[in-house]
Chain A
């Protein structure tokens, strides 16, 4: 193992160079926003003239961020809970059972992920407006559930497939009823899968722009949507306060991410990792 790591081929160097180049530029993208948000004035120089934290206060008050952030958290939390409750049982059936029309059902569940959000977002928003959901938190939650439920199904299915059905049969042999099989056998084994899909849905929902944008009203904007509005109305507000808001958004996402990575190994998103033995 260690000998292979030491013997770096030209391709390996190339690959690492590409990775490093990507990260350097990524750091530039994130760093420039971060520096700008603390900058007093920044025109044609390497770094701003002076540093200040005033833009954070400005952004917080100007954009009403307390309300925006609480809306974001409530909406995403609701989406996560509902999508797992609806999606996980369906994933179980799809992973375990063959029945007539399974392919059709599966395709129907896949479609919302395979369609660009704007495509179904516009008809969906029209329908939600017709029934009076859009413009409120409920509309935002309902719209965001559309890609989230299939996403839970898609991420959960491989986790369920990896649980040996013989374990379930053994539990049933020993007299466990369906509820007990679910709660005492499947649920503990599926905790990694449940956490993985819940966290992915959370991250996706906080970052979901299109659907929220199409269905949110003035008091149900999430952070991304508020950020977009503040950016597209550039010129009215100081660039730096938009940057400050963007930094707050990133900070929130990073907190979510750090929490997420305590539970999920990023490489275990699709399948459990079988590490090479030592």
Chain B
């Protein structure tokens, strides 16, 4: 009896006690609905439909330039879009922390694009930026251009749709990270004679950097899996044939789930490489309390 008690005690000292049972539902859930399907897809990808060795699906993908190029196409859309979203969010959020009249309204309006979703954004962009849309009409009316510029059904259509849905998301995240930084830290620095630029570079930025890394990752994931807008406002046969489209076509148009899983795995690996690089950089930054107790 006393032996089990001490055994339990020793485990509890290392953090293993009955409270851990609370983790069980979530763990079971992740194992069943995420890890298992993932492993299932992984093993499926090594069983090609038409035979030819375990790696046949991967060879097929990398030997076909039309498929292989989807990786570069996706990165060329997702990386600049995510980077722009985060970099634009920082100065704007920086100005908008603290109190001013209409702040609540402004942040509310900024949430609206998140709710639009990619499909509505695509429809709106087609109407607005199309050759007879308002944007081209205005530019022609003020004689900036003579012929409508082509902004939809190509790279830019997809890029704009990623900005519209991604920027407000990035902004709100950055703003909340920024609001979590105790303003007294900055005031202390100001008292000690730090200029505005110094305060930003030496106090705010280091505290904000881990949050920025997280924000970048989340917007990058959103941008990387761009699918509906690539089809609807992009040029799905050419310049915006992203990798998710290749995976979708393999699964639902060719019904080759093994090949589709292989493409999905490649997609995951490419994305995880970017995530790992960012996380590695993030782990070298300061993490911990930002003093933002409510």
Contacts and interface: CB of A to CB of B under 8 A. Distances in A.
A128 B261 CA distance: 14
B98 A276 contact: yes
Interface string A14-39: 01001100110110111111001000
Contacts of B81: none
B123 A243 contact: yes
B128 A119 contact: no
Interface stretch (B1-9, B22-30, B46-54, B57-65): B22-30
B14 A114 contact: no
Interface stretch (A54-62, A63-71, A169-177, A249-257): A249-257
Nearest to A45: B132
B266 to A, nearest CB: 9
Interface string A105-118: 10011011111111
A216 interface: no
Majority secondary structure, A binding face:
helix
A32 B122 contact: no
Interface in B12-60: 14-16, 19-20, 22-23, 25-27, 29-30, 33-38, 40-42, 44
B105 to A, nearest CB: 10
Majority secondary structure, B binding face:
helix
A250 B88 CA distance: 25
Nearest to A204: B114
B244 A269 contact: no
Nearest to B175: A267
A122 B107 contact: no
Contacts, number: 285
Contacts of A243: 123, 127
A86 interface: yes
B243 to A, nearest CB: 8
Contacts of B122: 231
B15 A274 contact: no
A266 B110 contact: yes
B271 A108 contact: no
Contacts of A15: 91-92, 95
A123 B123 contact: no
Contact of A109 (B20, B30, B118): B30
A50 interface: no
Given A15-B92, A26-B164, A29-B164, A142 B33 contact: yes
B20 A270 contact: no
A43 B130 CA distance: 11
A116 B100 contact: no
A100 B27 contact: no
